Amino acid sequence: MQALPRCAGARLATKAAAAPIRRNVVRSETRNSSFVCNSCLNTSNRTFSSGSSRCNNNDNNSRAPAPTAPPPSSGYAALPSRRLISIAGVDAAKFLQGMITSNMSDLTTPKGPAAAGFYTGFLQATGRVLYDVFVYPDTLGLGPSDSPAGSSFLIECDDSRAGALMRHLKKYKLRSKFKFQLLEPEECLVWQAWDDATFSSRQNGTPEDGANNKIVTDFLPDQKGQIVLRDPRSPTMGLRVLGRGNDAPPRVQAELSDADAYRIRRYLDGVAEGATEIQPDAALPLEANMDWMGGIDFRKGCYLGQELTIRTKHRGVVRKRILPVVLYGESEAPPETLEYRPSAVSEGGLSAADVPHLLSIGRSGKKGRSAGSFLDGVGNIGLGLCRLQMMTDVQLPGEAEAAPFDPSKEFLMQWGGDEEGNGAQKLKVKAFVPEWLRSKISEGNEGAPRS
């Protein structure tokens, strides 16, 4: 691994791989010690610490109510759920190259394909996602002033996992020459800007050509004092913008919105983000669509967790993926379109906020293998980790003999009640495959090996 001395890196990776994965401990830490609920994210006087944030509000019923209107087609919003870590020094790029799933040479090459930044992830030794992040060149000068040119970067991560990521960096730093620190929101804040008329679902979401750069500059011509990245996770996500503190919002002709609108747009696009939706120590990067969202370079050299990721890629079959889902009542007809409807709750008044995290999705009226699990949601929409062959019409390579998808079959989530299900709360769920993701899966299946 390029970031570590060969012998030391081998010892650390071997030790980490051999140790039992204590998922319950990791999830307990995330839930009780560092998880931030949605209502806290929307509280204006919320304070931040140098470590992980703490929230004492873990009851599903205490979540903030769903927004009463769909998100605007054009807008921008601050993202208090995201934090930034400054990492700078002569070994910073080399260290990150051995730790993340993307290629740092794309970032450090002038006018390279990802010169403005990229989406990527940190994995643990057995290939499970620890942190989904963005990495940017620090053109704002937030790192140490004595850092050599081109050796300072910013890591954007989930606020609830920032403290854990700091410990992760410290664990593998060894004798590498760099410094890192957690930045306060007053120092640098993350924004998202979008416009449906500018960012088409048929456009390429990766910043690889002049046409894409023109789209970005036309929408945000004044980028002085900001870091601007075309969000590569889906074509319609818009722009990621980093500015110094609360006084530097994106200078776009759009409506000021909020994090809820951004969250709804993510769900409609099928884009997962943060520890609640991409489970630390449990989620596979390909199941979280990181391969189709520009988050993995399969041609780069060794990095922590590479072995399982490459093996999964070359096997050619990913049976479960995170998809947008629509919730509806037991007696309601299945929805025909993927649409956020604030008033669309079940006849019992249930919505996505009432559904327990990671609740299993099963076939309605039939017992058997789970079809997936519910991750998070708002109103009548959310994200689920879904079995493609069961819940969608996507055909996987080598799966032609499997039972074909039946659109008349419905899927159900239920919780509470007794062992027989009496008194249980229930919601039906339907998965959708966004246009951008369907085209990516189709392209990948064409070149995938057949079993």
Average pLDDT for 235-249: 88
- Which of 179-188, 361-370, 436-445 bottoms out in mean pLDDT, i.e. has the lowest? 436-445
Sequence-distant (6+) residues with CB within 8 A of 296 are: 101, 102, 120, 121, 285, 286, 290, 309, 313
Q: What is the mean pLDDT of residues 263-280?
A: 97
282 lies in the same domain as 351: no
Selection from 106-110, 270-274, 435-439 with the highest mean pLDDT: 270-274
For residue 19, is pLDDT > 90?
no
Task: Check residue 10 and give its pLDDT.
Answer: 42
Residue 446, pLDDT score: 53
Residues 283 and 161 in one domain: yes
Residues 307 and 327 in one domain: no
| Inter-residue contact 132 to 273 (CB < 8 Å) | yes
Boundary-marking domain end, from 285, 311, 337 = 311
For the chain, what is the mean pLDDT? Answer: 82
For 102, phi then psi, to 5°, come to -105, 170
Instruction: CATH number of the domain at 115, please.
Output: 3.30.70.1400
pLDDT of residue 205 exceeding 60, the answer is: no
225: left (phi > 0), else alpha (psi -120 to 50), else beta?
left
Q: How much is the average pLDDT of 424-449?
A: 83
Residues 191 and 152 in one domain: yes
What is the C-alpha separation between 182 and 196, in angstroms, rounded? 34
For the stretch 121-152, pLDDT in tens is 999 999 999 999 999 999 999 999 888 988 99
Q: What percent of the chain has pLDDT over 70?
A: 78
Identify whether residues 92 and 229 lie together within a single domain.
Answer: yes
Q: Are residues 27 and 93 in the same domain?
A: yes
The answer to whether 260 and 366 have CB atoms below 8 angstroms apart is no
- Give mean pLDDT, residues 94-103: 97
Q: Which of 277, 294, 311 is the last residue of a domain?
A: 311
In a domain, 208, yes or no: yes
User: Residue 328 — φ and ψ, nearest 5°?
Assistant: -155, 165
> What pLDDT does 110 receive?
74
The reported pLDDT for the residue numbered 320 is 94
pLDDT at position 22, please? Answer: 36
118 pLDDT above the threshold of 70? yes
Q: What is the mean pLDDT of residues 271-283?
A: 97
When pLDDT is cut at 50, 70 and 90, the band that residue 202 belongs to is: low
Mean pLDDT lowest among 31-45, 217-231, 297-311, 319-333: 31-45
Domain that holds residue 422: 317-446
Is the per-residue pLDDT at 57 higher than 50? Answer: no
Q: How many domains does the chain have?
A: 2
Q: Is residue 1 part of a domain?
A: no
What count of other Cβ atoms lies within 10 Å of the Cβ of residue 436? 23
Contact (Cβ atoms closer than 8 angstroms) between residue 202 and residue 212:
no
Residue 56: the pLDDT is 36
Q: Is 90 exceeded by the pLDDT of residue 30?
A: no
Q: Which residues contact 420 (CB under 8 A, 6 or more apart)?
A: none
Are residues 272 and 333 both part of a single domain? no
Task: Tell me which residue of 95, 103, 96, 93 sits closest to 297, measured CA to CA.
Answer: 103
Q: Is 409 helix (H, G, I), strand (E, B) or coil?
A: coil
Is the pLDDT at 398 greater than 80? The verdict is no
Query: Residue 268: pLDDT above 90?
Result: yes
Residue 52 has pLDDT above 50, yes or no: no
- Give me the pLDDT at residue 24, please: 38
Question: Which tops the pLDDT comparison, 211 or 264?
Answer: 264
Among residues of the chain, what percentage have pLDDT more than 90? 59
**Confidence at residue 400, expressed as pLDDT on a 0 to 100 scale:** 55
